[in-house]
Structure 1
Amino acid sequence: MQFNSQLKVAFMQTHNLQKIADELRMLCADMVQNANSGHPGAPLGLADLAVVLSKHINVDVENTTWLNRDRLVFSGGHVSALIYALLHLWGFEVSLQDLKEFRKFGSLTPGHPEYKHTPGIEITTGPLGQGIANAVGFAMAAKRAQNLLGDLIDHKVYCFCGDGDLEEGISYEATSLAGHFKLDNLVLIYDSNNISIEGDVSITFSEDVEKRFLAVGFDVIKINGHDFDEIDKAFEATKKATKPTLIIAKTIIGKGAVGLEGSHKTHGAPLGMEVIAKSKQALELANASFNVTSASRAFFDGVRMRGARAYAIWRKKLITGDKEKLTLLESLQNPDFSKLEFKSYEVGKSLATRVSNGEILNAISEFDLGFIGGSADLAPSNNTTLFKTGSFPEGNNMHFGIREHAMGAISNAFANYGIYRPFCATFFVFSDYLSPSIRIASIMKAKVLYVFTHDSIGVGEDGQTHQPIEQLTHFRAMPNLITWRPCDANENIACMKVALSLQAPNMFVLSRQNLEVLEMPSLENVSNGAYIKAKASKIPTLSLLASGSEVELCLKAQKVLETEGISTQVVSMPSFDLFLESSKEYKKELFKDSKVLAVEALRGLELYALADDVLSMESFGASGKGDVLFKHFGFSVENVVKKAKTLLG
Structure 2
Amino acid sequence: MTTTSGSHSERSRERFGVISDGLPTQLPDIDPAETAEWLESLDAVLDSAGRPRARFLMLKLLERARQKAVGVPALRSTDYINTIPPEREPWFPGDEHLERRIRAYIRWNAAIMVSRANRPEIGVGGHIASYASAASLYEVGFNHFFRGKDFPHDSAHRSGDQVFFQGHASPGIYARAFLEGRLTQDQLDGFRQESRAASLPSYPHPRLMPDFWEFPTVSMGLGPIAAIYQARFNRYLQHRGIKDTSESRVWCFLGDGEMDEPESLGAIGLAAREELDNLVFVVNCNLQRL
Asked whether the two chains share a fold, i.e. TM above 0.5, the reply is yes
Which one of the candidate residues 173, 176, 183 is aligned to 1:83? Answer: 173
Which one of the candidate residues 24, 39, 48 is aligned to 2:127? Answer: 39
Report if aligned partners of 1:73, 1:158 keep a CA contact under 8 Å in 2: yes
| 1:186-218 Cα shifts (integer Å, max 9, x gaps) | 11100011223xxxxxxxxxxxxxxxxxxxxxx
Q: Structure 1 regions of 5+ residues with no counterpart?
A: 1-8, 197-266, 268-649
* Partner secondary structure for residue 132 of structure 2: helix
Task: Decide whether aligned partners of structure 1 residues 88 and 70 sit closer, same or farther in structure 2, where only a CA change above 3 A counts.
Answer: farther
1:155 equivalent to 2:248? Answer: yes
| 1:26-46 Cα shifts (integer Å, max 9, x gaps) | 111011012111000111111
| 1:207-234 Cα shifts (integer Å, max 9, x gaps) | xxxxxxxxxxxxxxxxxxxxxxxxxxxx
Alignment of structure 1 residues 594-613 onto 2, 5 Å: none
Equivalences, count: 183
Report if aligned partners of 1:133, 1:170 keep a CA contact under 8 Å in 2: yes
Structure with bigger strand share is: 1
* Partner secondary structure for residue 252 of structure 2: strand
Q: Rg: which structure is higher?
A: 1
1:26 corresponds to:
108
1:117 corresponds to:
208
Which one of the candidate residues 117, 121, 130 is aligned to 2:222? Answer: 130
| 1:61-84 Cα shifts (integer Å, max 9, x gaps) | 9xxxx961211112x412210222
Identity %: 29
1:164 equivalent to 2:257? Answer: yes
Report if aligned partners of 1:128, 1:164 keep a CA contact under 8 Å in 2: no
* Partner secondary structure for residue 12 of structure 1: coil
1:103 corresponds to:
192
> Once the 2 structures are TM-superposed, how far is the Cα of residue 152 of structure 1 from its aligned partner?
5.3
Report if aligned partners of 2:117, 2:192 keep a CA contact under 8 Å in 1: yes
C-alpha separation between the residues in 1 aligned to 2:254 and 2:233?
20
C-alpha separation between the residues in 1 aligned to 2:280 and 2:244?
20
Q: Structure 2 regions of 5+ residues with no counterpart?
A: 1-90, 119-124, 151-156
C-alpha separation between the residues in 2 aligned to 1:47 and 1:122?
20
C-alpha separation between the residues in 2 aligned to 1:51 and 1:60?
18
1:194 equivalent to 2:287? Answer: yes
Which letter does structure 2 place at the counterpart of 1:186? L
1:54 corresponds to:
142
1:646 corresponds to:
none
1:184 equivalent to 2:277? Answer: yes
> Once the 2 structures are TM-superposed, how far is the Cα of residue 114 of structure 1 from its aligned partner?
0.7
> Once the 2 structures are TM-superposed, how far is the Cα of residue 158 of structure 1 from its aligned partner?
0.8
Task: Decide whether aligned partners of structure 1 residues 146 and 85 sit closer, same or farther in structure 2, where only a CA change above 3 A counts.
Answer: farther
Task: Decide whether aligned partners of structure 1 residues 139 and 108 sit closer, same or farther in structure 2, where only a CA change above 3 A counts.
Answer: farther
TM-align CA RMSD? 2.5
Which letter does structure 2 place at the counterpart of 1:173? G
Report if aligned partners of 1:32, 1:102 keep a CA contact under 8 Å in 2: yes
Report if aligned partners of 2:224, 2:265 keep a CA contact under 8 Å in 1: no
C-alpha separation between the residues in 2 aligned to 1:60 and 1:96?
27
Report if aligned partners of 1:94, 1:108 keep a CA contact under 8 Å in 2: no
TM-score, with length taken from structure 1: 0.26
* Partner secondary structure for residue 267 of structure 2: helix
Report if aligned partners of 2:253, 2:283 keep a CA contact under 8 Å in 1: yes
Which one of the candidate residues 155, 163, 180 is aligned to 1:72? Answer: 163
Task: Decide whether aligned partners of structure 1 residues 164 and 67 sit closer, same or farther in structure 2, where only a CA change above 3 A counts.
Answer: farther
> Once the 2 structures are TM-superposed, how far is the Cα of residue 89 of structure 1 from its aligned partner?
4.4
* Partner secondary structure for residue 176 of structure 2: helix
Alignment of structure 1 residues 254-269 onto 2, 5 Å: none
Alignment of structure 1 residues 286-325 onto 2, 5 Å: none
C-alpha separation between the residues in 2 aligned to 1:157 and 1:44?
23
1:12 equivalent to 2:89? Answer: no
Task: Decide whether aligned partners of structure 1 residues 27 and 13 sit closer, same or farther in structure 2, where only a CA change above 3 A counts.
Answer: same
C-alpha separation between the residues in 2 aligned to 1:127 and 1:152?
28
* Partner secondary structure for residue 124 of structure 1: coil
Task: Decide whether aligned partners of structure 1 residues 131 and 10 sit closer, same or farther in structure 2, where only a CA change above 3 A counts.
Answer: closer
